[in-house]
Amino acid sequence: MTDSLERAVKKLHDTGCALVVVNGAVELSSDNTGLKPLIDIVKNTPEILRGASVADKIVGKAAAMLLLYSGVKEAYAEIISSRAIPVLENAGISYFYNKQVPFIKNRAGNDLCPMEKRVLDIDDPNIGAELLLNL
């Protein structure tokens, strides 16, 4: 784990925010949950993610595809899905996590997350990102 990712993880834990991006001197965080903060960054300031270290509360396959699509260098997840791991590994993105789960649940906890469903059978990160960014 690089110093940048350690900074991101520390801020994630210390502040309770949901997403932290560290790229050199640039540091960005969000308290918003779900994929919206990551989608907003990819759409509005994608250059921040290229080569960045990202700490996120939850990384499922959908988030992993966006991280790959955006050129993130390394990631940390409090909770990671088993479906996210091959996306990160195949892309050579270093990743660390606290807990692994089979899949990410929806907010009600009774089904698969709708964003995960969108990319469930997608292997191409460009197609996955397009599906997630053009909602």
pLDDT per residue as tens digits for the range 78-118: 999 999 999 999 999 999 999 999 999 988 989 899 999 99
In the sheet that holds 26-30, the strands lie side by side as 26-30, 19-23, 53-59, 74-81, 94-101
> pLDDT tens digits for 20-48?
999 999 999 999 888 999 999 999 999 99
Residue indicated by tokens 């991006």: 21
CATH number of 3-129: 3.40.140.30
**Residue % of the chain over a pLDDT of 70:** 99
Residue 135 pLDDT: 66
Per domain, the residue ranges of the chain are 3-129
Q: What is the mean pLDDT of residues 2-8?
A: 96
